[in-house]
Structure 1
Amino acid sequence: MLALEATCATLTDSNAKLLAKVTDLESRSRRNNIRIVGLPESIEGPHPSTFFPKLLMEVLGEGVLDSPPECDRAHRSLTDKPKPGQRPRPVIIRVHRYQQKEKIIREARARRGKLQYQGTPIAIYEDYAPEVMEQRYKYREVMAELYNLGLKPALLFPARLSIVSKEGGKKRFSSVAEAKGYIASILLGEHNGFRPPSLDSPYD
């Protein structure tokens, strides 16, 4: 019985390591990808790799990109085409040059909630592997609370939370539980009339 339990534990550990390697490989294969959300279905026509570089130039402006980015491929996410009235599928674009892809992502972050194409609100994100997306999604509630507290949260790859205070101090968390604990300490400090610990404090 003990030998069987040891074997199961070994297999579980090996499976977790293999999954981590596969996720890492998939993430590396997506590092030049961007994901555009909100674009109506079929506006790209039969030549998406030609259409979307022009769209990016129009949406972001010539001040961000010197020329339309070269795209290796572009397509809708591989799910069933939505029915009329349903949410359109995201567009996935592989940008040939990583530097251009980074410019696009930086500008999209800076103008989050303000991007439009022909009057339709859109958003541009990194294209993460499903496992990474699942990990990052867990921080949504925590990040909303941090924004409400006047802090500047950001998610580092794959799913680590970084916070910048109003004074410029920084702190990082490797789990949602750690971040919630810090939020609780801030709220408790405000309730008791104390200032929360500095993000730069070595004792946090």
Structure 2
Amino acid sequence: IATFSIFLQKMTTDINDLKSTMLSLKSLMEKMETRVIEAEGQINELEEELTAHDTKTQQLEIKISANVAKLDNLENRSCRNNVHIIGFPEGVKNWNPITFLSSVLPAILGLPANLPLDIEKAHHSLGLHLNLGQRPRAFIAKFLRFPTKEKLLRAARDRQTVEWQGHRISVFLELLRDLQLKRQRFVRIHQQLRERGLKFGIFYSAMLKITY
């Protein structure tokens, strides 16, 4: 009987210990559940903040892209009366650029000698002074009148080759690189249109117009 009593006491103690352990585990599980709920709440808040941040970032990207497009458009429009002229040797820079271009361009493009070009300003493109034999820098000329600039470009396009004292001269519109790349997409189409004898033109900013 004494042994059985001791056994019962031990069983009671073990059961009490087990109950205490279970209560501790229950308390721990409740705390963990509370923390999980709090963590889920924080995660949801972070996800909402990230979503809001992504939305703001996208809106800012759209605004930045729109502003960049506006700036490019303004810069391209500011250059609409500018012409790049490549091929004149470096030595001619000793002349007054406006006087030189005003006298030479009508002659090599087949325009009337008395045509007033009204060049507002002209200068070499930026770069180091080149030695003889190297590809010369371009002239950049700004015309006061848009129609005069268009007449000059049209004359350059109509002539197969433009030369001055043995130097091949190229005349083209000054544009930003991005807009130049857009217009270059029409190069193959230009060739096909010329072969078929169709009239066409590129209008600002990069619009192809065909006349038939």
TM-score by length of 2: 0.66
CA distance in 1, matches of 2:92, 2:86: 13
Q: Which residues of 2 match residues 77-88 of structure 1 at below 5 A? A: 77-88=125-136
- Counterpart selection for 1:14 from 49, 63, 68: 63
Partner of 2:108: 59
Partner of 1:178: none
1:118 paired to 2:165: yes
Q: 1:67-124: CA deviations, max 9, x gaps?
A: 342221111112333444332111111112223222212211211x321112222121
Partner of 2:7: none
Q: Which residues of 2 match residues 18-167 of structure 1 at below 5 A? A: 18-63=67-112, 66-111=114-159, 113-144=160-191, 147=194, 154-164=201-211
Query: Could you tell me how far 1:46 is from its partner in structure 2?
Result: 4.3
Aligned residue identity for 2:115: S
Aligned residue identity for 1:15: I
TM-score by length of 1: 0.68
List gaps (5 residues or longer) in structure 2.
Answer: 1-49
Aligned residue identity for 1:2: T
List gaps (5 residues or longer) in structure 1.
Answer: 169-204
Partner-residue secondary structure (3-state), 1:42: helix
Q: Which has the higher contact order (CA 8 A, sep 6+)?
A: 2
Aligned residue identity for 2:118: E
CA distance in 1, matches of 2:87, 2:138: 7
- Report if the CA contact (8 A) 2:111-2:155 is conserved: no
Q: 1:143 to 1:97 in 2, by over 3 A?
A: closer
Aligned length: 163
Aligned residue identity for 1:122: I
Query: Could you tell me how far 1:145 is from its partner in structure 2?
Result: 5.2
Deviates more, 1:146-155 or 1:18-27: 146-155
Partner-residue secondary structure (3-state), 1:81: coil
Once superposed, what is the RMSD of the aligned Cα atoms? Answer: 2.4
Partner-residue secondary structure (3-state), 2:93: coil
Q: 1:88 to 1:16 in 2, by over 3 A?
A: same
- Report if the CA contact (8 A) 2:202-2:208 is conserved: yes
Partner-residue secondary structure (3-state), 1:87: coil
Query: Could you tell me how far 1:146 is from its partner in structure 2?
Result: 5.2
Give the helix-richer structure, 1 or 2.
Answer: 2
Identity of aligned residues (%): 31
Larger radius of gyration: 2
